[in-house]
């Protein structure tokens, strides 16, 4: 957790509660191009507009001694907002990237983030936004590396189920978080 980021968001009028919704990373599109957040500054949606916040690396943000839950039955109540932050990033990217990412792309982003949490990857906006979302979440909620790894492993398995080039997982995320129709209609 990063008290500086929490304070900055509170100064901007954002309420950070124990169970309520958290701000999310804003996907930036300029002249039809998706701008991936690479580097310390990340666009965060604050009252409907993007605000750049300087976030620390995931390695620096992982804190606490939380044990890795199995997530066999899905996210625990305690970790539901972590899952939501990561899956919202996938849904938001699928809504603007052309071609939209498929399930294999989502699984690859989750696996890469687990292996290389602080890696800078140019040319992969999906990974950049999933990474930025994890950084924002860990800036707001104390999370151990074991908890993050377990969530990423579970999401990678979920995304990898079924047809390797299919969009079942991505479509479900888009529908759940954006109310968007499946990518087959794109």
With helix as H, strand as E and coil as C, how does the chain read? Answer: CCHHHHHHHHHCCCCCCCCCCCCCECCEEECCEEECCCCCEEEEEECCEEEEEECCCHHHHCCCCCCCCCCCCCCCHHHHHHHHHHHHHHHHHHHHCCCCCCHHHHHHHHHHHHHCCCCCCCCCHHHHHHHHHHHHHHHHCCCCHHHHHHHHHHHHHHHHCCCCCCCHHHHHHHHHHHCCCCHHHC
Q: What is the pLDDT of residues 123-179, one digit of tens each?
A: 899 999 999 999 999 999 999 999 999 999 999 999 998 676 789 899 999 998 988
pTM: 0.93
Per-residue pLDDT at 185 exceeds 60: no
Tens digits of residue pLDDT in 105-114: 999 999 999 9
* Domain extents in the chain: 3-185
């Amino acid at each position: 957790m990063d008290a500086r980021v929490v304070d900055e968001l509170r100064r901007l009028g954002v309420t950070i509660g124990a169970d309520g919704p958290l701000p999310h990373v804003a996907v930036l599109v300029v002249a039809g191009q998706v701008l991936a957040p690479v580097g310390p500054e990340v666009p965060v949606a604050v009252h409907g507009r993007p605000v750049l916040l300087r976030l620390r690396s995931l390695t620096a943000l992982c804190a606490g001694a939380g044990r890795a839950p199995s997530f066999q039955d899905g996210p625990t109540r305690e970790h539901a907002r972590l899952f939501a932050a990561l899956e919202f990033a996938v849904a938001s990217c699928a809504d603007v990237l052309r071609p939209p990412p498929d399930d294999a792309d989502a699984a690859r982003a989750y696996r890469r983030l687990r292996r290389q949490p602080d890696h800078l990857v140019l040319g992969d906006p999906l990974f950049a936004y999933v990474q930025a979302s994890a950084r924002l979440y860990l800036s707001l909620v104390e999370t151990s590396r074991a908890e993050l790894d377990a969530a990423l492993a579970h999401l990678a398995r979920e995304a990898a189920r079924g047809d390797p080039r299919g969009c079942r997982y991505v479509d479900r995320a888009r529908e759940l978080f954006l109310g968007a129709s499946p990518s087959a209609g794109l």
